[in-house]
């Protein structure tokens, strides 16, 4: 069985590495021959919206999935094999406005927000929502791109200048105690599994550290209920992620991603079945695997600069995942993980590692 994957970044690369032991084959479509996945599997070189190449990918595959949610939805219409997750789920998560509406419709608390299509809309939105607020493009935002924080009235002009060419949303900037994410999967026959909640530390809009399990049983229950609703709504097949702010003990959904997620990379070593294997199992129509945490895990992203392989591997018990990308400021080049017997031991270990690998990052 061959899985076609639209997008050949590090997520696709890790899907292939997880699927090979199951005897599955992979074929990727990516703009760049040197994309991370192209180093471990065959790759068709074309724009992700190239209809002819998408048809070729699908005709050579038994099922098509994607590792990047900004694939043009129209170009995925009527493929000669199943697309999992579906175009409907993909479309809903490509647009922050439809994502917010879905959260509201499914009773998932989210930030207060307004659609912004003019400078006047923005003024009105700020009156209704108040300051501080966030202005975000409805589409194509990731890793803090396409966003501006509005702390005073005067920030609005500069933000509008920078982002106003595209449809936007304005949302309240929620004061939060922590950020968490829930990752789960749904199989073709409707079975679902959920991973323990991930506790995330961002800097400059980019995820830097994840620790899991978060351990707050009440939040886990609530997040699983939310995710189950989204999965059922779409009759979803594959892995899906919701990111939250935790504010005064409440979960407030920030965004979701119809794919494996950076905050779930710890599951490769830290859970019975990784998020990558479960996504591959789901889209291949196979039974899902157990999601139990094997200890107390942490994941540290390697951003912009890659320490030498030997230096990281000399750190006892640390697992390296290098994506085969050229270094560039702000670029995710790899990550490393560790599994400790207790949360306390894990956090102490993370602090030691951060001093060596990313001294600018602190975990609470």
Per CB under 8 A, residues contacting its own copies are 13, 17, 20-23, 25, 39-41, 268, 272, 281, 285-287, 289-290, 294, 309-310, 313-314, 316-317, 319-324, 334
Please say which residue, 36 or 258, places its beta carbon nearer to its own copies: 36
Q: How far is the CB of 279 from its own copies (least distance, A)?
A: 14
Q: How far is the CB of 118 from its own copies (least distance, A)?
A: 47
Q: Is 256 helix (H, G, I), strand (E, B) or coil?
A: strand
Q: How far is the CB of 287 from its own copies (least distance, A)?
A: 4
Q: How far apart are CA 364 and CA 359, in angstroms?
A: 14
Q: How far is the CB of 88 from its own copies (least distance, A)?
A: 26
Please say which residue, 165 or 314, places its beta carbon nearer to its own copies: 314
Please give the sequence-ordered ranges of beta strands (E in DSSP) within the chain, or none if there are none: 2-6, 25-30, 43-45, 63-66, 113-116, 133-137, 147-150, 168-172, 178-186, 192-194, 198-203, 206-212, 238-247, 250-257, 296-303, 319-322, 332-340
Q: How far apart are CA 302 and CA 208, in angstroms?
A: 8
Q: How far is the CB of 115 from its own copies (least distance, A)?
A: 42
Q: How far is the CB of 18 from its own copies (least distance, A)?
A: 9
198-203 vs 206-212, strand pairing mode = antiparallel
For residue 346, give the nearest of 231, 195, 198 by alpha carbon: 198
Please say which residue, 41 or 63, places its beta carbon nearer to its own copies: 41
Please say which residue, 203 or 286, places its beta carbon nearer to its own copies: 286
Q: How far apart are CA 15 and CA 70, in angstroms?
A: 18
Please say which residue, 73 or 322, places its beta carbon nearer to its own copies: 322
Most distant CA atoms of the chain, gap in Å:
57
Please say which residue, 80 or 287, places its beta carbon nearer to its own copies: 287
């Amino acid at each position: 069985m061959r899985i076609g994957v639209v997008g050949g970044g590090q997520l696709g690369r890790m899907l292939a590495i997880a699927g090979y032991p199951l005897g599955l084959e992979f074929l990727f479509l990516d703009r760049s021959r040197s994309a991370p996945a192209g180093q471990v599997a065959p790759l068709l070189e074309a724009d992700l919206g190239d209809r002819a190449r998408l048809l070729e990918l699908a005709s050579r595959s038994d099922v098509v999935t994607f590792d990047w949610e900004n694939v043009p939805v129209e170009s995925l219409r009527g493929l000669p094999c199943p697309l999992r997750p579906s175009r409907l789920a993909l479309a809903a998560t490509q647009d922050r406005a439809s994502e917010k509406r879905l959260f509201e419709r499914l009773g998932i608390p989210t930030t207060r927000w307004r659609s912004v299509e003019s400078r006047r809309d923005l003024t009105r939105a700020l009156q209704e929502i108040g300051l501080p607020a966030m202005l975000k493009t409805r589409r194509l935002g990731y890793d803090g791109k396409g966003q501006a924080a509005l702390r005073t009235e005067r920030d609005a002009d500069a933000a509008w200048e920078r982002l106003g060419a595209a449809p936007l949303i304005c949302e309240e900037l929620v004061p939060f105690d922590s950020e968490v994410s829930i990752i789960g999967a749904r199989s073709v026959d409707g079975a679902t599994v959920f991973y323990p909640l991930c506790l995330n530390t961002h800097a400059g809009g980019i995820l830097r550290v994840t620790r899991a399990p978060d351990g707050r049983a009440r939040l886990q229950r609530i997040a699983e209920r939310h995710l189950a609703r989204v999965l059922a709504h779409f009759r979803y097949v594959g892995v899906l992620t919701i990111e939250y702010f935790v504010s005064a003990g409440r979960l407030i959904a920030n965004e979701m991603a119809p794919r494996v997620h950076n905050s779930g990379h710890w599951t490769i070593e830290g859970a019975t079945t990784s998020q990558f294997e479960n996504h591959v199992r789901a889209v291949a129509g196979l039974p899902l695997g157990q999601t139990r945490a094997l200890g107390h895990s942490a994941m540290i992203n390697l951003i912009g600069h890659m320490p030498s392989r030997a230096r990281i591997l000399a750190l006892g018990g640390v697992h390296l995942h290098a994506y085969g990308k050229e270094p560039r400021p702000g670029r995710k080049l790899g990550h490393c993980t560790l599994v400790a017997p207790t949360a306390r031991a894990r956090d102490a270990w993370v602090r030691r590692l951060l001093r060596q690998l990313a001294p600018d990052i602190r975990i609470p």
